[in-house]
Chain A
Amino acid sequence: MIDIDHLTLERDGRVILDDISLRLPRGGITAIIGPNGAGKSTLLHCLAGLLAPRSGRVRVLGRDIHHIPARERARLLALLTQSPGTVPRLSVRDLVAFGRWPHHRGRPGPTDHALVAQALERFALTPLAARDVETLSGGQKQRAFVAMAYAQSTPWMLLDEPLSALDPKYIRDIMDRLRDLAPPRHGLTEAPAASRSVLLVLHDLQIAWRYADWFVCLKDGKLLAHGPRDTTVTADLLSALYDTPLRLERVSDSSVILPA
């Protein structure tokens, strides 16, 4: 359970997050959506404890995130930051293995090696394990970084725009794998202990609708709405969120979001 309580954050005198309160239950995929500059990344960084709010607090499992020592925090929440930019010259295996660092702090044991192997397997990276991250395609590279966050074995995985600049094939590939890790949650009941909670910033509404079961909608630093997909996301909400008329149309068992 992540509790956000009247969270306000300023940067250079500008309010980035404005009095946000919400509760995220464990399990499932939660999408943070909203227009550019809404504060989505900032919220994610705040949840990961990397940015200190001006007021309000973030509690994870009842504890204030800023009072949890960095090392312990890294075993609760994994954060994948936005598109890697320059990547160090590391093999895929070495990169994924650094996800285990908060657990072993430089002395990996058999469990760590096993979990790295498992993460590589889970994200279909075993054949690429010896390859240099630099030489991978965009989709493979992103998969490697997601696998690193997975190897961190945290109950929560926070992913900041993990799909930007990826082809549909790779988007689907990553989202399907995340879906496996974090099966849909039903209402507010707690998810099984082994499953992960995935919280991600998404721009593609179609993908968000298809995969996420919980939504957090931000606009200009304010929380516009949050809750389960079917009762929260409406055409009116999306239109207000993005300042452009949008409609939701049922197509067989899914929905498409179209310009109105």
Chain B
Amino acid sequence: MRRLLPALIALALLTGLSLLVGATNLFDSPLDRSMVLAVSRLPRTMAAILAGAGLALAGVVIQQTMRNRLVEPGLTGTPEAAMIGLLGVTLLAPGAALLTKMSVAALSALLGTAGFFALSTRVPRRDPMLLPLVGLIYGGILGAAALFIAWSTDLVQFVGIWQTGDFSGVLRGRYELLWLIAALAGLLWLFTDRLTILGLGEDRARALGLNVRQTVLAGLTIVAIAVAVVVVTVGAMPFVGLVVPNIVSRLWGDNLRDNLGLVAVMGGGFVLASDVIGRLVRWPYEIPAATIFAIGGAAIFLWLLNHPKAHAHG
């Protein structure tokens, strides 16, 4: 709580900034101010926060279930599998409702992630770098399959949209699915101890009476749904699930009972900040938030790797 409060205040300030910044000057514009806010700015701000929080939480979950700090949803084939599902439903049932499309994408993402999990049990554990590399290749194969399907069915432009997380297209009525992430975060709250215990190692977790298989399946399902929702509504955002949980873990440790809220708030805050920066650097044009995050996140991550700060417990 002690750490969550400042993070929440920072997020609130960022939210205020995000509502003020954009191609339309709120104080000198022919458009109706409240309409710009209600239809565009507020949905866009909420979308960035929810997507960021969802991806950061998905990152924690995948790191705990696979017991590797260097994996993240973008390195487990999850978004690529979601895209394959989306392509499938777009081709077979083009008129399907958004929720149906999302469900198919989530199911496909779950299959893809579970496939990677099965693969991961065969990857030697000695070198932690190996698993993310295998994930990179696995995601690459699934991504190539998605692109091939898209190319042969003339849907390549869709894949391009799904691949790059961007909030410029977010309008009221087109992002609400992202609120599912808030529900998932609530659900995850019930699993915090189980996830932390999973991080102790499979044998230890089982010796404590944890149903490991059930916990892993629940975790992977939450990851798949969160990633699918993000891919469907705003597009994939790599690195969020890697950078944010690692920053939190490095500074404040792995007890998720203390830190899960912080991961969500920081994930939301970092993505929102990326979106705001993306709106400002080439005003009135925009740079996708995913691009900004990739640059900023990588920089923070490198700095963090070189400045191992002892984390305090309290």
The bracket for how many chain B residues form the interface is: 20 to 34
A21 smallest CB distance to B (angstroms)? 24
**Contact at B209–A79, with CB atoms within 8 Å?**
no
Residues of B within 8 A of A91 (CB): 253, 255, 313
**Contact at B253–A102, with CB atoms within 8 Å?**
no
Is A94 part of the contact surface with B, judged by Cβ < 8 Å? yes
Q: Compute how far the CA of A74 lies from the CA of B197 in the bound complex, rounded to whole angstroms.
A: 14
**Contact at A102–B209, with CB atoms within 8 Å?**
yes
| Chain A proximity mask over B241-256: 1 for CB below 8 Å, otherwise 0 | 0000000011001110
Count: A-B pairs, CB below 8 Å:
76
Report the stretch among B37-45, B168-176, B198-206, B225-233 that lies at the interface.
B198-206
**Contact at B310–A132, with CB atoms within 8 Å?**
yes
**Chief secondary structure at chain B's binding surface:** loop
**Contact at B310–A135, with CB atoms within 8 Å?**
yes
Q: Compute how far the CA of A79 lies from the CA of B201 in the bound complex, rounded to whole angstroms.
A: 12
**Contact at A88–B203, with CB atoms within 8 Å?**
no
A162 smallest CB distance to B (angstroms)? 14
**Contact at B210–A70, with CB atoms within 8 Å?**
yes
**Contact at B314–A89, with CB atoms within 8 Å?**
no
**Contact at B203–A81, with CB atoms within 8 Å?**
yes
B313 smallest CB distance to A (angstroms)? 4
Is A6 part of the contact surface with B, judged by Cβ < 8 Å? no
Say whether, besides A90-B255, A94-B255, A132-B311, A74 and B200 are in contact (CB < 8 Å).
no
**Contact at B209–A73, with CB atoms within 8 Å?**
yes
Residues of B within 8 A of A48 (CB): 207
Residues of B within 8 A of A132 (CB): 253, 310-311, 313
**Contact at B196–A130, with CB atoms within 8 Å?**
no
Contact of B193 among A72, A74, A101 (CB under 8 A): A101
Is B25 part of the contact surface with A, judged by Cβ < 8 Å? no
Q: Quick one: closest A residue to B191, CB to CB?
A: A106
Is B211 part of the contact surface with A, judged by Cβ < 8 Å? yes
Which A residues form the contact surface with B (CB < 8 A)?
Answer: 45, 48, 50, 70-75, 77-79, 81, 84-86, 88-91, 93-94, 98-99, 101-102, 105-106, 130-132, 135, 152
A-B complex: 4 closest residue pairs judged by Cβ atoms:
A74-B209, A91-B313, A79-B207, A89-B253
Given contact pairs A75-B209, A81-B201, A102-B209, enumerate 14 new A-B contacts (beta carbons under 8 Å): A71-B209, A72-B209, A73-B209, A74-B208, A77-B207, A79-B203, A81-B204, A89-B250, A91-B253, A91-B255, A93-B313, A94-B255, A101-B197, A101-B210
